[in-house]
Amino acid sequence: MQAHSPPCCQAGCAQHRHGLTGRPLSVDRQRPTFQLGRPDPCKVFVKRQPNVPHVAHHRLAVFAAQSNGASKSSPYVSNPYADELRETAKSISNRGRGILASDESNVTTGKRLASVGIDNTENNRRDWRELLYTAPDLGKYISGAIMFEETLYQSSADGKPFVDVLRAQGIMPGIKVDGGLEAIGGDETNTVGLDGLSERCAKYYKQGARFAKWRAVLNIANGGPSLEAIESNAHGLAAYAKIAQDNGLVPIVEPEMTLGAGDYTIEDTSYWSERVLTHVFRHLNEHDVMLEGILMKPSMCLPGLDAPSASPKEVAHWTTQTMLRGVPAAVPGIHFLSGGMSEEEATLNLQALQEACPNAPWSLTFSYGRALQSATLKAWAGNPENKKMAQDILSSLAKANSEAQLGKYTGPHPAAGGGRILQALRTGGSGKP
């Protein structure tokens, strides 16, 4: 199908290259063939009329979805938290700092503790998070910490609430609010947790949290995610983001293209990431989410685990191209997840992003979990005598990624080597017990 380029551009500018699919009509790669039985997303939303450009149909579809006969107030005016949301998002996205993702469920945390011989008890989980949050100088490199619900209400051994421990270091407390993944057919998932979310967000804000996280997971293998998976996850992310902002929490919007088995290419990842981002932002706009008061947490563009690995330069090229095409400049920060990368690879790729896009309209930074915690946990292994050594490793890892965000990392890496890992997806809820 031929592209209908409006008068403002010859080849189609970024705004007009995107239809409902998010697929830029570029000449450097061919559009993948859709599998039999899977509808082409270009054709399922609006029945085209003769002599009407595709872009016009896209706009008609959006307007039809938004028009319900009632006038709406702008979230910039109607939300009493609007100024605070903007300031919080801007603060967390400050250059040279990133997010410590420590929001693993009790079940996942238990598995990590078991890997170094530690029992999965509430006290041990608390001791582990206290080690992380009290690491010296951590606030120089970390602007926010995402916590699990149990951790948000816990205190250190000397009775100081973790929320206050973090704030003393200049670190903004955050909270995971989704209810985990549920299977929706085959290897695809949807994220649950909208029921009662507004009440929970209000409680979390009262406890001291100022931002939230909701993770959606999409699978690129086997021909890419279905339209059903893209739409259901995009809707969930947008509905959550609106509820979070209404309760004073900056929403982290996380459409994760999970790194998995397969020989799909880095170009495939870029293609599907663009498509997903287009759907996500369409839903965010339809839900009246204030873009200056959100943070993005996407995956970097990586090839499948069975494909040849990509260099940091290649990762940076495809990732920044995807973000420039898919994320509006109004968003203050893009905080990439480490998602299966080794500690060193995550740092090198982050550095390469700055080199590839030095004038990015948003902060290209990090929200790392395993890439900050894995070596730290191994060093600690539950031994109180190892606490300082483990905290020094954490601070060194945070510093390395801070330098990479500034484009100033030179090495050596505190946790050199290592390889990518296949991430196991667990469905059935967040596992609070």
Closest by CA to 348, choosing from 366, 333, 360, 332, is 366
Could you say which of 176, 297, 344, 345 is catalytic?
A: 297
Q: Which of 130, 149, 254, 345 is catalytic?
A: 254
Asked if 203 is an active-site residue, the reply is no
The residues, any chain, with a CB within 8 Å of residue 10's CB and separated by 6 or more, are none
Match 């293209």 to its residue by tokens: 257
Residue 254 falls in the annotated catalytic set:
yes
* Active-site annotation, residues: 254, 297
